[in-house]
Amino acid sequence: MEKKLLLKFSLSLFAVMASLTVNAQINSYDTIISGGVKRTYILYVPAIYNASKPTPLIFNFHGLGSSDAQQEVYADFRPIADTADFIEVLPQGLTNNGTGETGWNNFGTVASANADIEFVSNLIDSLKSKYNINTNRIYSTGYSNGGFMSYDLACFLTNRFTAIASVCGSMISSHVSACKPSRQIPIMEIHGTKDPVVSYSGTSGILTSTDIDTLVKFWVNINKCTATPVVIALPNTNKSDSCTATQYDYNGSNCNTVELYKVINGGHSWPGSSTVLPAANYGYTNEDFNASVAIWKFFSLCKSISTGVNEIENNESDIIIYPNPASDYIKIQSSIELGTITVTDMVGKIILQTKSRAEQEQINIKTLPDGVYFVTFLNNGIQNTKKFIVIRK
């Protein structure tokens, strides 16, 4: 069943890709030697990249039986990179001699994953030698098997990654038991409750994995987050997709939060993707939010490997927003001029924009529905983003 399902996925995705016009040209296909093996990857560098400026780097890992080229289209970060100014790298998994499928070795022993982890570390070193990579802002995300890979990096290559996000991924029990990260690390999981491939309960699909609620609690404990999350039901903007989404936000200090997007009745799919996989094989794709946008918003709040969001780059003084969560207003406090203030919702829609020459402001949010919002401050070319939650229940 696994091979048939994965084959259908590859054929479905290739069929859709054939009909798409790529919005931006792929920067390069390239190779490195890691562990004596030739490894390949796709690199996307936006036109606004400035070699004099340290630039964030996102790893984007494909699923089992898929490829770097398919992942670039399916879990598309290129339009975001074009304006947010980060580099995206899409590594290619090796072919399993036993199954003939490409992927990442995260379903067996931890030792079997070492070659892929070493490849990632070597690839970071290679990219650093060619581009001005901000080593405090290296992130990992991935779909399905690529989500498992991202969790392994959080566990076993913690010192090189700032935060990770998994879509339809999980961890197998032996990797959870061995996971002793060298520091706390922000974690996001996006998962459908009716996922037929990597089930939410971990008891069905192509393998036995950790129940998603149990996995979230594991990372909540590691990051010493609040035990009770802030729960936000995302607006059901697309009533024809047969599923809804709820966000669970476990707050932690210094950005070391854990976030879960629980897609009620959702399947094994990347929410908001332009490629909608067959529901008969993969379940429903949620269209109420875009996973790529949500992931970048999450990453953009985490700007330092050592301490998280509260360490502002360029020695910029921190900005404090309170109360948070809030219901009627938020107060903003800084030791410097705030500059241009922009409030956006989860999908990037601008709710409010104003300019301030003051160091303190108060914003009325009484008209905003419950949800997660972002406020961005732009002053003298330096941009900082904060998250706040509106909740009245």
Are residue 342 and residue 292 in the same domain, yes or no? no
Find which of 312-316, 333-337, 345-349 is predicted with most confidence, using mean pLDDT.
Answer: 333-337
- Please check the confidence at residue 99 and state whether its pLDDT lies above 60: yes
Place of tokens 């002793």: 180
In which band, very low, low, confident or very high, does the pLDDT at 319 lie, cut at 50, 70 and 90? confident
The pLDDT value recorded for residue 94 is: 97
Residue 101 lies inside a defined structural domain of this protein: yes
Are residue 193 and residue 326 in the same domain, yes or no? no
d(CA 112, CA 120): 14
**118 closest CA partner among 180, 37, 173:** 37
Which residues in the chain belong to E strands, given as ranges? 28-34, 37-44, 55-61, 87-91, 94-95, 102-103, 133-143, 163-167, 187-192, 230-233, 244-250, 258-264, 319-322, 329-334, 339-344, 350-356, 360-364, 371-379, 382-390
Choosing from 271, 300, 329, the residue where a domain stops is: 300
- Please check the confidence at residue 235 and state whether its pLDDT lies above 80: yes
The pLDDT value recorded for residue 23 is: 37
Are residue 210 and residue 329 in the same domain, yes or no? no
Q: How many domains does the chain have?
A: 2
Of 149-153, 198-202, 283-287, 330-334, minimum mean pLDDT range: 330-334
Choosing from 300, 330, 351, the residue where a domain stops is: 300
Are residue 11 and residue 124 in the same domain, yes or no? yes
Are residue 181 and residue 325 in the same domain, yes or no? no
Residue 176 lies inside a defined structural domain of this protein: yes
- Please check the confidence at residue 47 and state whether its pLDDT lies above 80: yes
The pLDDT value recorded for residue 305 is: 67
Mean pLDDT of 218-238: 94
**267 closest CA partner among 245, 247, 288, 282:** 282
Mean pLDDT of 314-325: 72
In which band, very low, low, confident or very high, does the pLDDT at 100 lie, cut at 50, 70 and 90? confident
**213 closest CA partner among 203, 59, 205:** 203
Contact between 283 and 335 under an 8 Å Cβ cutoff? The reply is no
Instruction: Specify the pTM.
Output: 0.84
The pLDDT value recorded for residue 245 is: 97
Are residue 293 and residue 370 in the same domain, yes or no? no
Q: Which tops the pLDDT comparison, 365 or 310?
A: 365
In which band, very low, low, confident or very high, does the pLDDT at 316 lie, cut at 50, 70 and 90? very low
Contact between 85 and 93 under an 8 Å Cβ cutoff? The reply is no
Are residue 103 and residue 147 in the same domain, yes or no? yes
Residue 108's identity, in one-letter code, is: G
Residue 310 lies inside a defined structural domain of this protein: no
In which band, very low, low, confident or very high, does the pLDDT at 26 lie, cut at 50, 70 and 90? low
Instruction: Check which CATH number belongs to the domain holding 191 and give it.
Output: 3.40.50.1820
Of 18-32, 52-66, 227-241, minimum mean pLDDT range: 18-32
Of 147-156, 189-198, 242-251, 252-261, minimum mean pLDDT range: 252-261
Residue 253 lies inside a defined structural domain of this protein: yes
Contact between 150 and 62 under an 8 Å Cβ cutoff? The reply is no
Residues 6+ apart with CB under 8 A from 266: 191, 192, 193, 194, 195, 243, 245, 283, 284, 285, 286
Are residue 197 and residue 254 in the same domain, yes or no? yes
d(CA 125, CA 105): 21
Residue 322 lies inside a defined structural domain of this protein: yes
Mean pLDDT of 360-377: 91
Instruction: Check which CATH number belongs to the domain holding 380 and give it.
Output: 2.60.40.3080
Are residue 244 and residue 379 in the same domain, yes or no? no
- Please check the confidence at residue 39 and state whether its pLDDT lies above 80: yes
**74 closest CA partner among 267, 281, 358, 276:** 276
The pLDDT value recorded for residue 370 is: 86
What percent of the chain clears pLDDT 90, i.e. is strictly above it? Answer: 74
- Please check the confidence at residue 132 and state whether its pLDDT lies above 60: yes
Are residue 127 and residue 10 in the same domain, yes or no? yes
**171 closest CA partner among 192, 153, 196, 193:** 153
The pLDDT value recorded for residue 163 is: 97
The pLDDT value recorded for residue 252 is: 81
In which band, very low, low, confident or very high, does the pLDDT at 15 lie, cut at 50, 70 and 90? very low
Place of tokens 């809030």: 326
Are residue 137 and residue 231 in the same domain, yes or no? yes
Q: Which domain holds residue 329?
A: 316-390
Q: Beta strand 187-192 with 258-264: parallel, antiparallel or unpaired?
A: parallel
Contact between 199 and 180 under an 8 Å Cβ cutoff? The reply is no
The pLDDT value recorded for residue 97 is: 65
* Phi-psi group of 255: left, alpha or beta (phi > 0 → left; psi -120 to 50 → alpha; rest → beta): left
**Sign of the CA dihedral with 88 first, then 373, 23, and 20 last:** positive
d(CA 69, CA 14): 10
Residue 354 lies inside a defined structural domain of this protein: yes
The tally of CA atoms less than 13 A away on the side-chain side of residue 153 is 32
Mean pLDDT of 319-344: 90
Across the chain, mean pLDDT equals 89
Mean pLDDT of 310-317: 40
Residue 307 lies inside a defined structural domain of this protein: no
Mean pLDDT of 240-268: 93
Choosing from 273, 300, 327, the residue where a domain stops is: 300
Contact between 191 and 262 under an 8 Å Cβ cutoff? The reply is yes
Mean pLDDT of 138-154: 98
Residue 309 lies inside a defined structural domain of this protein: no
Are residue 174 and residue 293 in the same domain, yes or no? yes
